[in-house]
Structure 1
């Protein structure tokens, strides 16, 4: 049965969207008018490397069994959809038309699968140790999330690394690291039925007889997506330096011992919240993957381009660590550096481009 999935965010969202389209499901991408016009005219192109192939394949939405369309936030008809994917960067949800759409999504009680690095606040409320913590400071506008029922929001660890090539149009996405989306379950089994259906359908997809990477994997544990926090704090946010941004590889491998100390500390925070060690990714595996991540993180690129706001998982983890009574000087230093660079851009009159 073809499902209809609404995805907020046409850049990173087009990766999950393409996987759903390949599996025969229908996808609507929510984006700016100009991007929507482009996608409705030409479709999307996602470039992904299959196992044991040296060159990326270009996967065009127009050639896939599912149907794709794109709309602006104001033109979404929520009655069409079975599930919502949240794929915008967290600061983008403060845009007025997006906020209005979010209010409507919450009122419609549609299940929401987030593939943001920044976990939606309602999802964190599902974790008992976090439910009463004061974490709003880490969000650009925490009020965006106040109408959502926690059980209707789940988190999918956005492990696949992808970017929009700067020389390409807005409908092109290049996948640099084709790992899996790891999703936690919803509170209601009827929504999990849909989620597991999508998981199975995506898993069955082949291309010219070859398996296609970037699967959707569903886990009963709420803590599996939190494994990404260790990676973000060790690599992504440390790409932001007092000077020019550095690659994820350099952030991790520039001082491997220090990196492992940070990684292990964030892992320990997750375990303190209730995570099982099996929910987590060994540092050695992450460090190996980081060897191929030769560009600065999206957060570092956003700061360098003048963004006054970015997703602040670094600040979120700092707030949690302090409220758990296990602060870490390296994490605090990272937050301080990010704050410094963001404030510097604001003072200089940065463009604010995301």
Structure 2
């Protein structure tokens, strides 16, 4: 272990879960990374790896009352005994963008990446090796200062917890999903916090998600918050459309999360020779494209789901079926290439994979 990161061993290790029944985010490893911030002590201090356990929090902690909480999600993979992270620098850069938006203190990205590597090295036996499996990594930061005055807190805690996980949707990871287009509520507006990965964005989506589930749909597709006609993103994913062989995705406008999987898929698609267009896309345009036979495939992208084909779209009183409710060839190719690079089964000329060393 590096002297920089303290390591507190637990007396007894947990029993690991059955790798055939991991689910998503249900099991947690033996250890977590912890870091504290105190403006009166010079900022971030006491970086350490400790046993995974409940934390003590004052009932008046400002993070509980005023929502200063941001988080990230990334994964570790194991292939031929080697454990790797996938573009972790992008996650730590994005968490700083989220922190900045909520007036929370910035982290040292290189320092936290080194701490994460050491944590994953300790827990490398928890990284599952089955198809579609990974070690899900959740960094998050929240305000701990006690007090009910509305102002940026002076004290914060950062934790990184780890969870061995199977496919996000369970079973066949490429089984097409059913998407409900929300036409009553909105997720975010430009100038707000839609581009940041903050807890409140997800809380605001739950009612619509429940309504969609009750109607037999898996996810919600959000429209813009001003004109209520431009497609933005799905609850847990960015969204792509294939029109006449060209990939089209909503352009980032301040109310859409700049997904790292989205960014990677765009780069990968261009390398594979596909044309990619980032622009405003109205729901009416999509329906017109479908009626003309030009809307060939739809898929979502996100850390948890990776690439998820969409088989059904429901908007108002109309439901359309995409590609006979089957995974399209472009979706399948991008998924195979993306996951192949992630897992180490394919070459990584871009240098996206970061090997976790043995300390």
Question: Looking at CA atoms only, which structure, 1 or 2, has the larger radius of gyration?
Answer: 2
TM-score (norm: length of structure 1): 0.29
Larger RCO, structures 1/2 (Cα 8 Å, 6+ apart): 2
Higher normalized strand content (fraction of residues): 2
Task: Pick the structure with more helix per residue.
Answer: 1
